[in-house]
């Protein structure tokens, strides 16, 4: 069922920015871990976007957000293994003036035995996404023009039940925060070993009612999975007038040592981005806290 909600968010305006950096680093870390074993897995991307963004696109060029995200990272030789994996995944697209979105990263990582479900509600974004994913020739990749949370409910748990979910909503509507919390709580009742990466914005008081909503969402979700940590990349001071001063990922049932790999990678990212950027990693649920 396609809900009648207004969709004005276009990811092209933000392609390759600092939020994509932390989110895609983490998503690659999760998928790499799934690929360590020769057993099939399924990935779900509930808010997939258009899949690939040309740097020459007018919308991408509007604010050139990639200039303070992927651009300074593209030519470095990183020390940290996860940052290296992120850069080597994105560079082939970058060399042809493109930034790859999460569904293209996900679909390109699938082996013949794996599956991926990429969901997008915006009609023209879904149409572009379908072509982008078709061009990967990934056998198990499926594009759905549908509500991602409804799709997640309908398609999980997968068989076999190894896999991960990326949830990357635009958070345009305040209600989305509650809808995400309900969707993830419901997911764990059906699929208790799911690995989930949830992206969230860090918003100052200028965001009005949305300021503090991400923190409330994390609090509401912290007991849903067996374990969970958050990783954040702050790119500005959290003063009242900054708006979005960074973003984070909440990783539920994270793979072994992903916190350590993210810590190493983000430390290096902050050195490269310079300015006011800093990061933090914090466990919100450990085996001991159960
Ligand atoms: C932040 S963008 C996704 C970016 C993408 N995950 C990436 O990292 O490349 C959010 C996308 O969610 C889509 N969207 C909004 N509401 C949705 C819904 N209920 N179900 C599926 N997609 C939705 C928007 O049209 C937009 O393309």
Q: At 240, is the pLDDT very low, low, confident or very high (cuts 50, 70, 90)? A: low
Q: Is any ligand 1 atom within 6 A of the Cβ of residue 203? A: no
Task: Please choose, from the candidates 177, 246, 186, the residue with its C-alpha nearest in 3D space to the C-alpha of residue 216.
Answer: 177
Strand 115-120 to 42-45 pairing: parallel
Mean pLDDT computed over every residue of the chain: 95
289 within a domain of the structure (yes/no): no
Q: Using CA of residue 141, residue 147, residue 151, residue 153, what is the dihedral sign?
A: positive
SS (H, E, C) the chain: CCCCCCCCCCHHHHCCCHHHHHHHHHHHHHHHHHHCCCCCCEEEECCCCCCEEECCCHHHHHHCHHHHCCHHHCCCCCCCHHHHHHHHHHHHHHCCCEEECHHHHHHHHCCCCCEEEEEECCHHHHHHHHHHHHCCCCCCEEEEECCHHHHHHHHCCCCCCCEEEEECCCCCCCHHHHHHHHHHHHHHHHCCCCEEEEEEEEECHHHHHHCCHHHHHHHHHCCCCCCEEEEEEECCCCCCCCCEEEEEEEEECCCCCHHHHHHHHHHHHHHHHCCCCEEEEEEEECHHHC
Containing domain of residue 215, as a range?
A: 2-284
Q: At 209, is the pLDDT very low, low, confident or very high (cuts 50, 70, 90)? A: confident
Q: Is any ligand 1 atom within 6 A of the Cβ of residue 14? A: no
- The residue behind tokens 């600092």 is 18
Give me the pLDDT at residue 2, please.
47
- Global pTM exceeds 0.95: yes
Q: Is any ligand 1 atom within 6 A of the Cβ of residue 117? A: no
Burial of 75 (0-12, 13-18, 19+ CB in 10 A): exposed
The pLDDT of residue 249 is above 80 = yes
Percent of the chain past pLDDT 70, that is, above it, reads 97
Cα of 23 from ligand 1 centre, angstroms: 13
d(CA 102, CA 109): 11
Q: Which atom of ligand 1 is nearest to the CA of 46?
A: 21
252 within a domain of the structure (yes/no): yes
The pLDDT of residue 229 is above 90 = yes
* pLDDT tens, residue by residue, 100-122: 999 999 999 999 999 999 999 99
290 within a domain of the structure (yes/no): no
192 within a domain of the structure (yes/no): yes
22's CB contacts (< 8 A; 6+ apart) are 199, 231, 232, 233, 247, 248, 249, 266, 269
Q: At 206, is the pLDDT very low, low, confident or very high (cuts 50, 70, 90)? A: confident
Calculate mean pLDDT across residues 199-223: 94
Calculate mean pLDDT across residues 127-155: 98
Tokens for 217, please give them: 């969402």
Calculate mean pLDDT across residues 200-224: 93
Q: Is any ligand 1 atom within 6 A of the Cβ of residue 176? A: no
The answer to whether 112 is a known catalytic residue is: no
The pLDDT of residue 239 is above 80 = no
Q: Is any ligand 1 atom within 6 A of the Cβ of residue 120? A: yes
Say which of 168, 175, 205, 240 is annotated catalytic: 168
What's the domain count of the chain?
1
Cα of 258 from ligand 1 centre, angstroms: 25
Give me the pLDDT at residue 290, please.
64
85 within a domain of the structure (yes/no): yes
- The residue behind tokens 């790859």 is 100
Q: Which atom of ligand 1 is nearest to the CA of 11?
A: 2
Q: At 1, is the pLDDT very low, low, confident or very high (cuts 50, 70, 90)? A: very low
197 within a domain of the structure (yes/no): yes
* pLDDT tens, residue by residue, 257-288: 999 999 999 999 999 998 889 999 999 999 88
* pLDDT tens, residue by residue, 25-76: 999 999 999 999 999 999 999 999 999 999 999 999 999 999 999 999 999 9
273 within a domain of the structure (yes/no): yes
Q: Is any ligand 1 atom within 6 A of the Cβ of residue 102? A: yes
Burial of 96 (0-12, 13-18, 19+ CB in 10 A): exposed
Tokens for 126, please give them: 């879904």
Q: In what order do the strands lie in the sheet with 42-45?
A: 141-145, 115-120, 42-45, 163-167, 195-203, 244-252, 228-234, 278-285
The CATH number given to whatever domain includes residue 109 is 3.40.50.150
Residue ID of nearest Cα to ligand 1 atom 16: 121
């Amino acid at each position: 069922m396609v809900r009648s909600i207004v969709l004005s968010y276009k990811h092209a305006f933000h392609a390759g920015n600092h939020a994509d950096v932390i989110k895609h680093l983490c998503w690659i870390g999760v998928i790499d871990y799934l690929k360590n074993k020769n057993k099939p897995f399924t990935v779900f991307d509930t808010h997939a976007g258009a899949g690939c963004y040309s740097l020459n696109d007018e919308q991408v060029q509007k604010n050139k957000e990639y200039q303070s995200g992927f651009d300074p990272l593209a030519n470095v030789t990183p020390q940290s293994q996860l940052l290296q994996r992120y850069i080597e995944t994105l560079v082939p697209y970058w060399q042809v003036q493109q930034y790859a979105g999460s569904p293209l990263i996900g679909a390109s990582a699938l082996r013949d035995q794996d599956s991926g479900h990429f969901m997008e509600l915006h009609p023209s974004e879904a149409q572009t996404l379908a072509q982008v994913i078709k061009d990967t020739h990934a056998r198990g990749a499926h594009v759905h023009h549908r509500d991602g949370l409804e799709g997640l409910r309908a398609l999980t748990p997968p068989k076999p039940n190894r896999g991960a979910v990326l949830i990357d909503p635009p958070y345009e509507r305040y209600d989305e925060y509650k809808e995400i919390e309900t969707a993830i709580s419901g997911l764990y009742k059906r699929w208790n070993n799911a690995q989930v990466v949830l992206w969230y914005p860090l918003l100052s008081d200028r965001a009005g009612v949305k300021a503090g909503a991400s923190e409330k969402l994390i609090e509401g979700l912290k007991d849903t999975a067996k374990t969970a940590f958050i990783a954040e990349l702050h790119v500005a001071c959290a003063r009242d007038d900054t708006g979005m001063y960074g973003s984070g990922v909440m990783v539920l049932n994270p793979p072994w040592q992903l916190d350590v790999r993210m810590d190493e990678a983000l430390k290096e990212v902050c050195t490269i981005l310079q300015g006011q950027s800093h990061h933090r990693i914090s466990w919100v649920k450990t085996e001991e806290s159960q």
